[in-house]
Chains A and B, each alone.
Chain A
Amino acid sequence: MEGNEAVAEGAIAGGCRAFFGYPITPQSQIPEYMSWRMPQVGGIYLQAESEVAAINMVYGAAAAGARVMTSSSSPGISLMQEGLSYMLGAEITGVVVDIARGGPGLGNIGAAQSDYWITTRGAGHGDGSTLVLAPYSVQELHDITAESFELSERFRLPVTVLGDAYLGQMREPCLLRPVGDAPLARQLGWTVGGGLEGRDRHIVNSLWTNLEVMEQMNLRMADRLARAKAELTRWEEYGAPEPEIVLCAYGIMARVCETVVDWCLERGIAAKLFRPISLVPFPDQAIRSLAGRAKHCLVVELSLGQFIEDIRLSVQGLCPVSHYGRTGGVVCTPEDVLDHVVEILGR
């Protein structure tokens, strides 16, 4: 199954019954798939007139109690920032999938990881962040997308699933989760439109003109992010138990670095892959612990240096942190990464 299709089936398995989308390569297969699949499961599909409209439809549908998703790619994600900020401010749920491509600007349709900052450093203006999860296989795209809806509701935060052009368009075996019955919309303690009988009216709103009330709202969101840090922080390690060098990579570059670690071990180099799965919350303690025992951290990413900032902040100088990245849709090969490892270690 293709990664984009696995995302769509994952959403359906996760109870998503409303999808608002807009075509953009390399993720157009998601709205295409949803356009025929959603009616089959009693859901609704709507092609919005823009990414701006799509995310605001998500906002409305989430406010009305739907498990709802949109998907896009880098330039479209830029346009969705406005709506995401409102969703954060209004404390509502929803899932956004970013199958990222090269940029800035219109860029290209190659795989890139240069959306790290736009997805992890908040969502639009204001003082908050969505949860950000970064799968590295078709199976994980499926599973993480499915789970995102429950996570979004548990923490009352939108969830961003961050993939890239390679992940979205590659084909791998995928064990699909069962699709159960799910309602178009549910009435939760804060949702609108489910009928006013027996309850107070609900207001979904992000306007807080009282400064202290606004601050309290932001602090409430910070508390939920802190709770997510305790409950949701995820990463994987692969390779030597006591590494001399730690390769730090997520998403598609973690796939490449798994190969590099295998090659290193064959050469007698104690290498380990550190792969964050949750980018927000970031597994800072895990990489700090590894860095305290290693000689070097090599950050490998498809950007000129975004992910490395979180590694540096986490490592806090316990060992040198260096960077190898390609940009603009060019992908680092295992050979390139191995060369950097050899150069760093001097052998």
Chain B
Amino acid sequence: MRGEPIYECPEALTDTPLRYCPGCTHGIAHRLVAETIDQLGVRDRTVAVASVGCSVYAYEYFNTDSVQAAHGRAPAVATGIKRVRPDAVVFTYQGDGDLAAIGLGEVLQAATRAENITVIFINNGVFGMTRGQMAPTTLLGQKTTTTPAGRTVAEAGFPLDVCRILDQIDGVAYLSRETAIDPKHVMRAQKAVRKAFQAQLDGLGFSLVEILSTCPHCWHMSPIEALEHVRTEVIARYPLKVFRDPYAEKPSADSGATRTE
């Protein structure tokens, strides 16, 4: 006997098959964003800004108006949209090659302006679409196609922690680093995405959720190994943390605390 469905495709996702590789958590992140849009009832006034990289096709997946931006420029494009459409819900969806490398300036300046947009930042530590070159977020020792012996400080400097930089900027209303490696973390990530969008709806300023993601293909790991790599190695370098939360019940005690996993 058929009952009520407990699991459906969000209205804010199209039925286009995702092109992401097996084991990549882009798909989960897409779903989190789409569910949030549905829950908030804002699909008809949401504009997605797709970036360059693996998520370039976001405009095909999100069932909303969409603009595809140049590499790294999504926050500037989103700014243009939001300034002339203040009632629109505008979010960018950017990888680390896009946001932390070529687009670092745009995201920092948008945050500084307290631009009332939401950024979903997918950090898998490599340039995924171009087959795994070093990104600013690549871990020390990590082998990529452009750090074949592993990233060293001498050659390439230190991994870039975007959230720690953004945490110093006054215009940031909501800021959190999450991951999607298991159901518990997916549920936490969904709350973060929801709060980030809510901050925009409430006009509080810039909001960003970093989601530590996987790239089994470029990491030369199985999907299971990739998830474990995030759990053991990536989180050690980029601790999960709610940096800023205007909706926290006890802002002084919990919101700034690093979660221990």
Beta-carbon contacts under 8 Å, B42-67 to A = 43-45, 47, 49-50, 56, 59-60, 63-67
* Distance in Å: Cβ of A48 to nearest Cβ of chain B: 7
Residue-wise, chain B 201-226 has the 8 Å CB interface mask toward A (1 for contact) of 00000000000000000000000000
- Contact with A195, one of B44, B70, B73 (Cβ below 8 angstroms): B44
Mostly, the B contact residues are helix
Q: Do B88 and A193 have beta carbons less than 8 Å apart?
A: yes
Q: Are A196 and B44 in contact (CB under 8 A)?
A: yes
A83 within 8 A of partner (CB): yes
A289 proximal to B (CB < 8 A): no
Are B77 and A59 in contact, with the CB atoms below 8 A? yes
Check A64/B70 contact, CB under 8 A, given A53-B109, A57-B79, A193-B65: no
Decide yes or no whether B105 CB sits under 8 A from chain A: yes
- B76 close to A57 (CB less than 8 A): yes
Asked if A204 and B66 sit within 8 Å, CB to CB, the answer is: yes
Contact in complex: A64, B88 (CB < 8 Å): yes
Given A53-B76, A57-B76, are A201 and B64 also a contact pair (CB < 8 Å)?
yes
* Chain A residue contacts of B88, Cβ below 8 A: 64, 192-193
B85 touches A (CB below 8 Å): yes
Contact between chains at B59 and A205 (CB < 8 Å): yes
Q: Which residues of A contact B59 (CB under 8 A)?
A: 203, 205
What 1/0 flags go to A173-217 for Cβ under 8 Å of B? 000000000001100000011111100011111110000000000
Within 8 A of B (CB), among A65-102: 65-66, 68, 82-83, 86, 90
Report how far A58 CA is from B73 CA in the complex, Å. 12
Verify B73–A64 contact, CB threshold 8 A. no
Question: How many interface residues does A have (CB within 8 Å)?
Answer: 42
**Min CB distance, B111 to chain A, in Å?**
11
Task: Determine the interface band of chain B, counting residues with CB < 8 A from chain A.
Answer: 20 to 34
**Residue in A closest to B112 when the chains form the complex, CB atoms:** A49
The interface residues of chain B lying within 8 Å CB-to-CB of A18 are 80, 83-84
| Complex-state Cα separation, A295 to B47, whole angstroms | 59
Q: Which residues in chain B, 66-99, are within 8 Å of chain A measured between CB atoms?
A: 66-70, 73, 76-85, 88, 90
CA distance A48 to B70 in the complex (A): 16
**CB–CB B69/A56 < 8 A:** yes
Name A57's closest neighbour in chain B (CB-CB): B80
| A50 contacts B by Cβ under 8 Å | yes
Asked whether, in the complex, the Cβ of B70 is within 8 Å of the Cβ of A61, the reply is no
B38 contacts the other chain (Cβ, under 8 Å)? Answer: no
Contacts of B43 in A (CB 8 A): 196
Q: Does chain A have a CB within 8 A of B106?
A: yes
A62 near B66: Cβ-Cβ < 8 Å: no
Across the interface, do A193 and B79 meet the contact criterion of CB distance under 8 Å?
no
Report the nearest A residue to B88, measured CB to CB.
A193
At the interface, yes or no: A52 with Cβ under 8 Å from chain B? yes
Q: Is the CB of B65 within 8 A of A201?
A: yes
A64 touches B68 (CB 8 A): no
In Å, the complex CA distance between A255 and B54 comes to 52
Q: A57-B77, A192-B65, A202-B66 are in contact. List 13 more A-B contacts (CB 8 A).
A: A46-B79, A46-B83, A49-B106, A49-B109, A53-B106, A63-B80, A66-B80, A185-B84, A193-B47, A196-B45, A201-B64, A201-B66, A204-B68
Nearest 4 CB-CB pairs, A to B? A60-B80, A192-B65, A56-B76, A61-B80
Contact surface of B with A, Cβ cutoff 8 Å: 43-45, 47, 49-50, 56, 59-60, 63-70, 73, 76-85, 88, 90, 105-106, 109
